[in-house]
């Protein structure tokens, strides 16, 4: 009954995350426990060579997720949701959403998954002495300038997906500092974009004949804990077309999936690191000191409070795994078997633990899209084996799971070489739902203990709900670290997988074959 009263009086916190394949909404109470959730599956599309989502799908997915959450709250507690204490919006980082007059979208949404900005990324990285990845908003913009795209001169606002949704709900053009750090390099201490590098960009744009003022079109930068905006009447109708939800709720600064992953795993302090594994996989190591030089495999971004973070981002993780599970589901259907998808994941994942330490000579490449970490511009999923390989189901599943970690390993080795010290990794995302499988394999692969919290499957939606709660509940100068340690995670339960020598040795052997076979991948780029 207590929860019902909290919902009636609008004391719950709503978090929404736009993931690559799923939009998820969660409602948490004042104890930060999940009380209702809703979700909507969606997929990006490759249209005219561009990975994109339509804005109609953005709102359809948001509304369906919220409706499912609201209906669940009503079924469980008899309360029709009319108000909430605070709202957080998160989404896939990076990408390119450019708007002109009358809020018109000037080009289709160019997502983080696109690898068509190589020329721009290389030029910006060299000029700025800073690794500018292809997926960053500034790389997309400069590539459009190099391509002489007509729309550049019409841009009045440049945003990410989370920033766009936040803008439409509040009327405010702003993003959190973590999200901003995936658009353009930031100065975490000044809580804004790096002035020196803004000047460099402007000069480069001017040399290409563009008069665009970058700072004027970028969203404002805000730290975690800021009261970033309030739900307008129009925003309330966008979120809940039924009209039940009242305007006025506080919104925290919108953050990307990297920032919400750090919060959801309590990894916002130095020497902490989280690994988010879904369609893509990335590790976020909060640095004690700057790296000695820029690396093309390492992004330098920021926590939601502006601390520098080394981000190893790989475009590909679980898509190939999902494709094979879907194939097995088709086989089950052919034989009249109706096995729930989650049970299939559970059993197939556990089979991997029975395999040969090095996957029996089987090698998988999970590249559905390009993978800058290994120098691939296009995706080319591939499975390979020698005639004498041990082609069994356990080895096959082990090769798929190892493949999902292989590119990440290459980037993490650079951090190790820089002397970055990590106490342990905190894993979250769907790949960790089967207890003790992905975590134990990753611990061996990266030679670092991997911990998984009980809420690992909730991921970023829960993380952005916590940031919304922090903005609503913050008192005086309470830091985000203090809030998470003293209020959210004080009684949290984790399971820890330590590196096992047999797994580490097997993965090292697997990586030898994986790296040797990358030539097949590069040849495959030319087949399509």
Residue 427 has pLDDT above 60, yes or no: yes
Mean of pLDDT values over 157-170: 98
> For residue 1, what pLDDT is reported?
45
Beta-carbon contacts of residue 477 (< 8 Å; ≥ 6 apart): none
The answer to whether residue 176 scores a pLDDT higher than 50 is yes
380-392 average pLDDT score = 94
Q: Do residues 179 and 93 make contact, with C-beta atoms less than 8 angstroms apart?
A: yes
Please tell me the predicted confidence (pLDDT) of residue 528.
Answer: 53
Q: Identify the band that residue 201 occupies on the pLDDT scale cut at 50, 70 and 90.
A: very high
Residue 525 has pLDDT above 80, yes or no: no
- Enclosing H/E stretch for 400: helix 393-417
Q: Of 320, 308, 127, which is closest to residue 208 (Cα–Cα)?
A: 127
Condensed to tens digits (0 to 9), the pLDDT of residues 360-377 reads 999 999 999 889 889 888
User: What residues contact residue 456 under an 8 Å CB cut-off, 6+ apart?
Assistant: 427, 428, 429, 432, 433
The length of the chain, given as a count of residues: 528
- 423 near 374, Cβ under 8 Å? no
The answer to whether 448 and 499 are in contact (CB under 8 A) is yes
CA-angle at 204, arms to 199 and 210, nearest 5°: 105
Instruction: Phi first, then psi: give them for residue 99, nearest 5 degrees.
Output: -120, 145
N- to C-terminal Cα separation, the chain: 59
- Segment among 41-55, 244-258, 260-274, 455-469 with least mean pLDDT: 455-469
423-435 average pLDDT score: 86
pLDDT digits (tens, 9 = 90+) for 478-506: 999 999 999 999 888 888 999 999 999 99
CA separation (Å) from 390 to 16, 325, 395, 396, 514?
44, 20, 7, 9, 16
Tokens 């003790």: give the residue: 436
For position 456, what pLDDT does the model report? 47
- The pLDDT assigned to 37 comes to 95
Q: Among 249, 252, 251, which residue's Cα sits nearest to residue 82?
A: 249
**pLDDT at site 457:** 47
Please state, in angstroms and as integers, the Cα–Cα distance from residue 168 to each residue in 58, 171, 314, 370, 462, following that order: 12, 6, 30, 31, 22
The residue ranking higher by pLDDT, 522 or 242, is 242
- For 321-346, the pLDDT digits (tens) are 999 999 999 999 999 999 999 999 99
Write the pLDDT tens digit of every residue in 89-105.
999 999 999 999 999 99
β strands within 416-470, DSSP E: 425-428, 450-453
Q: pLDDT class for 526, splitting at 50, 70, 90? A: low
| pLDDT tens digits, one per residue of 447-477 | 999 998 865 445 789 999 999 999 999 988 8
pLDDT at 347 over 60: yes
| Closest among 405, 400, 375, 406 to 385, alpha carbons compared | 400
- Cα distances from 252 to residues 148, 345, 474, 507, in angstroms, run 36, 35, 11, 41
> Half-sphere exposure of 78 toward its Cβ, with a 13 Å CA cutoff?
4
Dist CA 397 CA 359 (whole Å): 8
H-helix or E-strand spanning residue 341:
helix 341-352
Q: Residue 261's pLDDT band (boundaries 50, 70, 90)?
A: confident
What is the DSSP code string of 463-513?
HHHHHHHHHHH--TT--HHHHIIIIISTT--EEEE---HHHHHHHHHHHHH
Query: What's the rounded Cα separation, in Å, for the pair 135 and 130?
Result: 14
In the chain, CATH 3.30.420.40 covers 94-159+184-217, 319-454+494-524
- Domain 94-159+184-217 matching CATH 3.40.47.10: the answer reads no
Average pLDDT over the chain reads 93
What's the CA gap between 200 and 241, in Å, rounded? 45
Mean pLDDT of 297-321: 93
Quick one: 319-454+494-524 is in which CATH superfamily? Answer: ATPase, nucleotide binding domain (3.30.420.40)
């Amino acid at each position: 009954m207590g929860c019902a009263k909290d919902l009636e009086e609008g004391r719950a916190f709503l978090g929404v995350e736009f993931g690559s394949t799923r939009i998820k909404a969660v409602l948490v109470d004042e104890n930060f426990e999940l009380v209702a959730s809703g979700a909507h599956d969606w997929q990006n599309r490759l249209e005219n060579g561009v990975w994109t989502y339509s804005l109609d799908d953005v709102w359809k997915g948001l509304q369906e997720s919220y409706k499912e959450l609201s209906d669940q709250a009503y079924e469980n507690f008899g309360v029709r949701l009319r108000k909430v204490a605070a709202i957080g919006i998160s989404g896939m980082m990076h990408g390119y959403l450019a708007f002109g007059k009358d809020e018109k979208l000037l080009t289709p949404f160019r997502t983080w998954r696109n690898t068509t900005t190589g020329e721009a990324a290389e030029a910006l990285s060299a000029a700025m002495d800073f690794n500018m990845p292809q997926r960053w908003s500034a790389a997309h913009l400069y590539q459009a300038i190099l391509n002489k795209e007509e729309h550049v001169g019409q841009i009045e606002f440049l945003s990410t997906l989370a920033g766009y949704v936040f803008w439409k709900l509040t009327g405010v053009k702003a993003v959190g500092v973590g999200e901003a750090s995936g658009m353009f390099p930031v100065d975490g201490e000044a809580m804004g974009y790096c002035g020196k590098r803004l000047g460099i960009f402007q000069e480069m744009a001017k040399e290409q004949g563009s008069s665009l003022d970058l700072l004027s079109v970028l969203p404002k930068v805000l730290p975690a804990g800021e009261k970033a905006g309030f739900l307008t009447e129009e925003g309330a109708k966008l979120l809940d077309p039924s009209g039940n939800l009242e305007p006025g709720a506080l919104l925290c600064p919108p953050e990307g999936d990297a920032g919400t992953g750090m919060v959801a795993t309590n990894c916002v302090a130095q020497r902490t690191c989280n690994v988010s594994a879904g369609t893509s996989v990335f590790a976020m190591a909060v640095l004690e000191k700057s790296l000695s030089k820029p690396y093309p495999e390492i992004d330098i971004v920021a926590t939601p409070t502006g601390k520098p973070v080394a981000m190893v981002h790989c475009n590909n993780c679980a898509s190939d795994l999902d494709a094979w599970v879907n194939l097995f589901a088709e086989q089950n259907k052919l034989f009249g078997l109706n096995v729930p998808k989650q049970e299939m994941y559970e059993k197939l994942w556990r089979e991997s633990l029975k395999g040969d330490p090095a996957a029996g000579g089987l090698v998988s490449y999970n590249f559905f899209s390009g993978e800058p970490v290994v120098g691939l511009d296009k995706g080319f999923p591939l499975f390979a084996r020698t005639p004498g390989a041990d082609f069994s189901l356990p080895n096959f599943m082990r090769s798929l799971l190892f493949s999902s970690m292989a590119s990440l390993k290459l980037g993490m080795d650079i951090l190790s070489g820089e002397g970055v010290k990590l106490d342990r990794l905190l894993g979250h995302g769907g790949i960790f739902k089967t207890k003790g499988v992905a975590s134990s394999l990753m611990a061996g692969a990266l030679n670092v203990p991997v911990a998984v919290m009980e809420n690992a499957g909730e991921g970023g939606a829960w993380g952005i709900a916590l940031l919304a709660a922090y903005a609503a509940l913050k008192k005086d100068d309470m830091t985000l670290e203090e809030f998470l340690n003293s209020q959210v995670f004080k009684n949290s339960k984790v399971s820890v997988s330590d590196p096992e020598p047999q797994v580490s040795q097997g993965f090292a052997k697997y990586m030898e074959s994986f790296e040797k076979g990358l030539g097949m991948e590069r040849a495959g780029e030319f087949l399509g």
